[in-house]
Amino acid sequence: MNETVLEIRNANIYQGDSLILSNVNITVSKSEFVYLVGKTGTGKSSLLKTLYGELPLQEGTANVAGFDLKDLTWKTVPFLRRNIGIVFQDFQLLTDRNVHDNLKFVLAATGWTNEREIENKIDEVLGKVGLKTKGFKFPYELSGGEQQRVDIARALLNSPKLILADEPTGNLDPETTEEIMNLLFQIAKELGTAIVMATHDYLVINKYPARTIKTEGGKVIDNVSLNV
């Protein structure tokens, strides 16, 4: 049986005191690619924030990459985030340092101390995203697609079981979008990493079909069929 990396059961998702999503049930397995869709304001971001520990889980149960979200504290949230990768729409790279040092910063912040291991890991993830020769470049010297690749490399640093990608193609042109989608599917297939990708882009979903989950009317609907 395939390993489960994300399981939510009978969960109610809150933003402060406001109930955003009720009775959420989702299971995602190793290597699986899942889209998360829904109109703005229907709870996609609240669901993602709950999964990476920014919003507390108040009701129901959830296990993400081996962590029980009900047991999370401010002290244990960083450990959860070491076991998942997060890819943002706006890259969120540190502009005052080059690609290599952006990645080194994350490794140092997550407890890596051995210089040789740090260098090997940076070399490895840049190779996986096709940027092995770009470590000396600063973010402003890179195209949007290259910056997104660095963001994905950063998400891979701690060999996560799960990547949460929030609109990762939202600011990219169609050609670059294709490159990033091919890369994400390759990561899921070759590394066994489960990927949950929030998107508004139904053209991407049609071109790269995968299981799709939708937030709508305070609910999460699994395996929706999108006729667009």
110 vs 65, which has greater pLDDT?
A: 65
Average pLDDT of the residues of the chain: 92
pLDDT, tens only, 60-86: 999 999 999 999 998 888 889 888 999
**pLDDT per residue over 143-159, tens digit each?**
999 999 999 999 999 99
CA distances from 72 to 13, 57, 111 (A): 15, 9, 19
Length reported for the chain: 228
pLDDT above 90 covers a percentage of the chain that reads 79
Average pLDDT over residues 192-197: 96
Query: Each residue of 20-61: pLDDT tens digit?
Result: 999 999 999 999 999 999 998 899 989 999 999 999 999 999
pLDDT for position 111: 83
CA angle 166, 21, 185 (to 5 degrees): 30
Q: Which residues contact 207 (CB under 8 A, 6 or more apart)?
A: 178, 181
> Given the structure tokens 């193609």, which residue do they identify?
169
Provide mean pLDDT across the span 111-115.
92
Contacts of residue 161, defined as CB under 8 A and 6 or more positions apart, other chains included, come to 3, 5, 30, 65, 66, 83, 84, 193, 194
Q: How confident is the model at residue 2 (pLDDT cuts 50, 70, 90)?
A: confident
Q: In angstroms, rounded to a whole number, what is the distance separating the alpha carbons of residues 194 and 187?
A: 9
Q: What distance separates the 2 farthest-apart alpha carbons in the chain?
A: 51
pLDDT at res. 228: 44
DSSP characters over 39-60: -TTSSHHHHHHHHTTSS---EE
Spatial separation of the C-alpha atoms in residues 76 and 67, rounded to whole Å? 9
Cβ atoms 159, 112 nearer than 8 A: no
Q: Could you tell me what percent of the chain has a pLDDT over 70? A: 98
